[in-house]
Chains A and B, each alone.
Chain A
Amino acid sequence: MKNKLKVLRAERDWTQADLAERLEVSRQTINAIEKGKFDPSLPLAFKAARLFSLKIEDIFESD
C-alpha cells in the first residue's frame, strides 16, 4: 500500500520518532509503513488521518 506519510511528515519537519510518538507506535513501525513493508490497521490509519486532518484516502492508496 502506497502512502504519503513521509511527505506529510517532512512538511511538518517531524522525524519518524516524532510521528511514532504522536501515533503511539514504534519508530520501526513508522519506517515500515513509509517503505510500504507494513500495512497499518484501519484504527491506525484513522489515527494518522485525524493527526494530519485529512481523509484516509488522502494519505493511503492501494497499489
Chain B
Amino acid sequence: MSEQNNNWKQQNINNTKRLAAWTFAWLITMAIASFGPVFIWDGNTTMSSISVAINLLVGIGMIWANKKHLAGLDEMQQKVQLNAMAIALGVGLVFGLAYSNLDIANVIESDAEISHLVMLIGITYLVSTIIGLRKYQ
C-alpha cells in the first residue's frame, strides 16, 4: 500500500518535471524561431520553416505533457485548474477580441499584438489558480 502511494506521489513529481522540461524546450525553440531569422540565418526561409516546424513539434510535446500532468492531479486540484482555465479562456476571448476591435477601429494607436493576449491569458490563469487554491485552504 505504502509503495503504491509513494508511486502516486512520485508520478506527480515526474509529471511536473516532464512538463517543466517540455515547456523549457518549447521556450528555447520559440526563441530560436523568433530571433533566428534576424540574428542567426539572416532571413533564410528554409531555416525559418525548419525552426517553426521544430517549435510546433516540441509544442505538441508540451501539450501532451500538460495533459499528463493534469490527469495526474487529484480531483480538487483538477477542479481548481478547470476553473482557472475556464476563466483564462473566457478573458482571453472576450478581451482579446475587444482589443482587436479597438485596433481595427483605430481607437488605439499601436497594433494589437498576439503577445499581449498571451500575457493576459497567462496572468489571468495564474491569478485564477492562486485564488482557487486559497478558496479551499
Q: Which positions in A face B, CB cutoff 8 Å?
A: 21-22, 24-26, 28-29, 31-33, 37-38, 40-41, 44
Q: Assign chain B's interface to a size class.
A: 10 to 19
A40 to B137 Cα, complex, angstroms: 15
- Kindly list chain A residues whose C-beta atoms are within 8 Å of the C-beta of B4: 24
Q: Is chain B's binding surface mostly helix, strand, loop or mixed?
A: helix
Residue B8 at the A interface, CB < 8 A?
yes
Number of A-B contacts (CB under 8 A): 40
Q: Which positions in B face A, CB cutoff 8 Å?
A: 1-2, 4-6, 8-9, 74-77, 79, 133, 135-137
A28 touches B137 (CB 8 A): yes
Given known pairs A32-B136, A38-B136, the reply for A26 and B5 (CB within 8 Å) is no
